[in-house]
Structures are given as structure tokens and as C-alpha cells.
Structure 1
Amino acid sequence: MTDLPIVGAALTLPGLKTHLDLILEKNRDLEIQDFISADLLDGDWRPRVDEIRALLPPYTGRLGIHGPFWGFSIASPDPAIRAVVTRRLLQGLEICEALGATQMVIHSPFTTWGAHNAPFFDPGNARAIALCHETLADPVRRASDIGCELVIENIEDRNPGDRVALAASFDTPVVGVSLDTGHAHYAHGATGAPPVDAHVLAAGNLLRHVHLQDADGYADRHWSLGLGTVNFPAIFAALTRLTSQPRLILELRDQNDVPRSIRHLENLGLAQ
């Protein structure tokens, strides 16, 4: 058991209070998810940071946040929209610095429509990648300055290589790849994407972060592990081929299911 990977959790402040002992017992990877709200970003978020920090003095694990994502793409062709997206991501990184977080999750720009049409209108996603560089130039510099990394999570991505190529195009350890198991399983079931473990292998050591959730291949369920049809043994077998030690984060719709999901992985002999 002691050689098995340790899984962490994505939690909001109430969930962190509920599961604090579980997080602290093994210094599990922790992803704070409070700071995706525009209302909080545009209000006074510092008291929320202070309250989270007050809970974590004994914590020595890897701390990250989910960055802002609602309502925008990092590959917007509209320069006015790109300016807003850049500002939102810089706000997220300001929170990372205040919180002491070393990783921020951002969302992939690649869509189902793009998977079908990019070969005709944007071969190799060249324009999409260039637009991402426009959006992310300042956030990448800021992330480097504060010792934080940006990891790009699959949302609709059908081709795992698209996101890997995007991350690699920055040619910096500050930008890596995130994998959401339920999103990948949805894409496999609904849009013809490869199975989830293929996304792990495609990313290789650019994979720095994994959202673990179960799903049915039809929708983005975020179920407790064991309730859906995601092949976790295949995923964890693929993970053993990497040396990048990605953060393994349970991201569940019901945060009360975190202990149940950990037990499921323990019973499968996959993680602790």
C-alpha cells in the first residue's frame, strides 16, 4: 500500500473543512475550487484565502487551484475578449500567490466542432495555438515569476494530441497538461475519441495533473469512482509509465463522496 500513489481532492472551502483530516493525514494533493466565480473574483477574495490558509498550517502537500473558466476560451479570435480572459487568468495567479498554490488548472480551447473542421480551416490548429499564445503570454510570465504552473485540462477534446501540442508549443515547464477522466470518457463515448488511458500515454511526462471522476461516456457526470464505466485500472497502469508524478485529484460533484472514492481505489489496489 505504501508504494501506491496517493490521491487528493478538489474541494471548496466547506468541503475542505469536512475532509481536512483526510487531506492532512497523507498531505494529499489539494485543489481549491472556490475561485472560479466571477462574483468572488470581482469582490474581496482575500478573506476566503485567509480562511483557507488558516486551515492549512500543518499541510506540506502540493496545493493548487482551479482557475477561472466560465464563459470564455483561451483561443478567442476577438482581441477584446482575449484581454478579459488574460485579466481573469492573472487574477487567478494573484490568488495562487496569496494562497501559496503552485498549480492552476485552465481549460482547453479545443472543441468537438474544431475536431471535425480544423483540418479544413485551421490545419494543425496553427491559428488556435497562436491565439492561445496571445492570451497566455502575460499569465505564463506571471506564473513563472511566482513558481506556479498552468495545466491545460481537456473539456471537449477529441484528439489528445491537440492539447499536448499546445502545451509543448510554449517550450517551458510552466505549461503542462491536465487530464479529466470523465471528460475524456465522454469524448470517447460520444464523439469517437480514444479511450482515457490513451490520453495519458499521449501526454507522457507533460501530464502534470489528473481530475479523477467516474462517468458513463454520455455526459460529464463527476460521479464517485465505481459508479460509472471509466476504466481506472487501465488509467493507473498508464500512469505507472510516467515520471512526471502528476497530481491525482478527485473531482466529484458530491464532495462527500471523496472517502468512498478513495476506498474504491484502495479496494482495486490502485491508490491510497
Structure 2
Amino acid sequence: MSDLPILGAAMPLSVVETNRDWLLEKPRDLELQDFFDAKVLNGDWMPLVERARTLLDGHTGRLGIHGPFWGFTIASQDPDIQAVVRKRLLQGLEVCEALGATQMVAHSPFTTWGHNNYDNQPESREKLIGHCHDTLREVVARAQDIGVTIVIENIEDVDPADRVTLADSFGSESVAVSIDTGHAHYAHGSTGAPPVDYYVTIAGNRLEHIHLQDADGYADRHWSLGEGTIRWHAVFAALAKLTSNPRLIIEIKDKTKVQRSAEFLASLGLAQ
């Protein structure tokens, strides 16, 4: 059997149906995209969980969800906003527990504006991390109790080390780092961030999840792999040095191209 890493994907349950054979042919990791909307989380989501259990009967990969993120930051200094964010993320963890999912993606609080101003305002990084702890303390404790890891995904992050520092600050194995390759490529091309493979190297073994999407360095394209300008050989060379076994999740807009994206990386001899 090939020693190449096995690719997984992010998709809603409606797309799981059309990719089920592919998901079950190997232990492919899956990230469900049905549970980040507030309307879903505030409603009766158990029918979605039951549908997932049926569709994923026989699935041997690791299961996760993309957690809620619309309309908020995990670093708000307003205690009322913190309470709403805390509620949403705890709802996401409830879903994880019901599904048997072991990972939930959350969005980074670091911004381009912040990057250029941290050193202009004394202790601003420390204050931001403190606001994250005020928001997430209960969330992280709950994640530990149910065996879920919260992975913090780069959005506007210019310095790849910021999320590592934030994850480490919790002193918990239930908080780790995620990389979105397209977001990193955007930051590299548009805001002076390092290239994508540097994000992997700097995250090191704190990296437990990666969104694989292609882009042009200008916008958040979520193109099929091979349609943009990311240097995939460099990314996978950096990944090969890790022992943390991050989930390799294809996350693209056109879900009909998920398997084509996997085939592209397989054709380069990088993954299966």
C-alpha cells in the first residue's frame, strides 16, 4: 500500500451522498459543512446527525465539522458578544458529541490591520489572547471533556506564528492549528505574508488540520487544486516532515471537482 498521505474533503451531507464511494474506499477524513449556520444550530439538527450516521456507515476516516464563524470574532472585548460566541461554539461541540466528531474548525482572530498595529499599541497581542481566553475558556474545557480538538484556521493572518502562540496559550491538547492554503496564498500575494509552505513549517507539529484549496494570491478563490498558483510540491514537502498527521481536507467551491482535485495531487505523486 502507498505511503502517500490520504486526502479527505469538506462537504455538506448532500455532497457526501455523491462522493460516498470515494470517501469509503480509503480511510478518508471528512469535515461536514452543515453545522456552522446559526439557524441550523438554533434549530433541530438531530435529523442531520441521523442522516450523517446513515451515510457514513462504514466510513473509517476521522470526522470533524466546520464550526460556526459568521459575524463574529473569538477575540471580542465586549462580554455580551463573548457570550454569544461562546454559545455558538458550545453548540458546535454539542453537534460534535452527537456525531462522534473529534475536530471542529474555528476562525483565527488575527487581522491584517492588527498585524500592522500590534507593535503600535503596548501589549495588544496579549490583550487579544486574553479576550480569546475570556471567550473560549468554557469551550476548551468542554472540548477536552468530549475528546474534540478545536483547530484555529488562518483567515487574514500575516504572521503564521500568531496562531501557534494562541493555541499554545491554552496549554491544552484540545486546541491546535489549522492552515487554509488559499488564505495563506492570499496573504502571501496581497499582504506580504510568507509562502504557504512556510505556514506549514512554522506551525510544525501543532498543525492538525489543513484546508486544501487553490488560489491566485489575490482573493479567497477556493478553486480546484491545480487551477491556481500554489506550489504544491513545496507544501507537501513541508507536510512530510511532520509527525502530527494533520487531516488533509480538500475544501473547494465546486464540489463536483473534489475527486478531480485528489486525482491532480495523485498525478504529482504527492497524495492518494
Counterparts of 1:172 and 1:202, CA distance in 2: 19
Please tell me the root mean square deviation across aligned C-alpha atoms, in Å.
Answer: 0.9
Which residue is equivalent to 1:135? 135
SS in 2 for 1:104: strand
Gaps of 5+ in 2: none
Which residue is equivalent to 2:160? 160
2:215 alignment partner AA: A
Matched, 1:270 2:270: yes
Which residue is equivalent to 1:14? 14
Deviations 1:15-62 (A, max 9, x none): 111101100000201000110111111111111111111111211210
CA drift of 1:118 comes to 1.0
Counterparts of 2:122 and 2:93, CA distance in 1: 30
CA drift of 1:124 comes to 6.3
SS in 1 for 2:214: coil
CA change 1:23–1:126 in 2 (3 A) is same
TM (normalized to structure 1)?
0.99
Which residue is equivalent to 2:121? 121
Which residue is equivalent to 1:244? 244
Counterparts of 1:189 and 1:141, CA distance in 2: 37
1:172 alignment partner AA: S
Contact 2:35 2:92 in 1 (8 A): yes
Which residue is equivalent to 2:211? 211
Deviations 1:55-82 (A, max 9, x none): 1121121000000000000000100000
Which residue is equivalent to 1:5? 5
Identity %: 63
SS in 1 for 2:106: strand
Counterparts of 2:206 and 2:111, CA distance in 1: 21
Counterparts of 1:168 and 1:25, CA distance in 2: 36
2:157 alignment partner AA: D
SS in 1 for 2:35: helix
CA change 1:122–1:50 in 2 (3 A) is farther
CA drift of 1:101 comes to 0.1
CA change 1:254–1:122 in 2 (3 A) is farther
CA change 1:245–1:124 in 2 (3 A) is farther
Counterparts of 1:135 and 1:255, CA distance in 2: 33
**How is 1:126-205 mapped onto 2 (pairs within 5 angstroms)?**
126-205=126-205
SS in 2 for 1:35: coil
Which residue is equivalent to 1:99? 99
TM (normalized to structure 2)?
0.99
Counterparts of 1:70 and 1:205, CA distance in 2: 28
Segments of 4+ in structure 1 off by > 2 A?
Answer: none
SS in 1 for 2:24: helix
CA drift of 1:241 comes to 0.8
Counterparts of 2:122 and 2:234, CA distance in 1: 33
CA drift of 1:122 comes to 4.7
Size of the aligned set, in residue pairs, is: 272
Counterparts of 1:198 and 1:21, CA distance in 2: 34
